[in-house]
Amino acid sequence: MSNTHHYILSFTWINDRGLVRAWTIDGETSPNEGASRLAVYRELLAYAKAQCGVPAAEPVVTQFFSLEPMSFNPQSSSPAVSAPAGEAAHPGPSRHGDERGPGCVPSFPC
């Protein structure tokens, strides 16, 4: 069984000129067996900060973090696997019958 996971990490910080900056990074990682989710997050955050030139001690605000197994497992409790087709990517009220067509999300123009 593979221990490879896909991650997505988005964060913001204030740069040395006082401007708010944002960064999103994604990729694959293979955490050590027994590693906690927090340890993996901290490792990935340090890596991401280094990639975009944010000093290690500079505070950032994490906007989004996802860490999911790379393989799909039907027995998984992941919403992306267990939700009915088409609903996992658009949580909330059903979009079936929306006059704008399938795939439209009410809060976004189609």
Residue 76 and residue 39 in contact, taking contact as beta carbons nearer than 8 Å? no
Weakest-pLDDT range from 4-8, 26-30, 76-80:
76-80
pLDDT in tens, 52-86: 999 999 999 999 999 999 987 656 555 554 444 44
Ramachandran assignment for 80, one of left (phi > 0), alpha (psi -120 to 50 degrees), beta (any other): alpha
What is the percentage of the chain residues whose pLDDT exceeds 90? 58
What value does the mean pLDDT take over residues 14-19? 92
Which residues, 6+ apart, have CB-to-CB distance to 58 below 8 Å?
A: 13, 49
pLDDT at 10: 97
pLDDT of residue 104 exceeding 80, the answer is no
3-state SS, residue 46: helix
pLDDT, mean over the chain: 78
Residue 30 and residue 6 in contact, taking contact as beta carbons nearer than 8 Å? no
pLDDT band at 29 (very low <50, low <70, confident <90, very high): very high
Tokens at 21, concatenated: 């900056």
pLDDT at 71: 86
DSSP letter for 84, please.
Answer: P
pLDDT of residue 36 exceeding 60, the answer is yes
What value does the mean pLDDT take over residues 87-103? 47
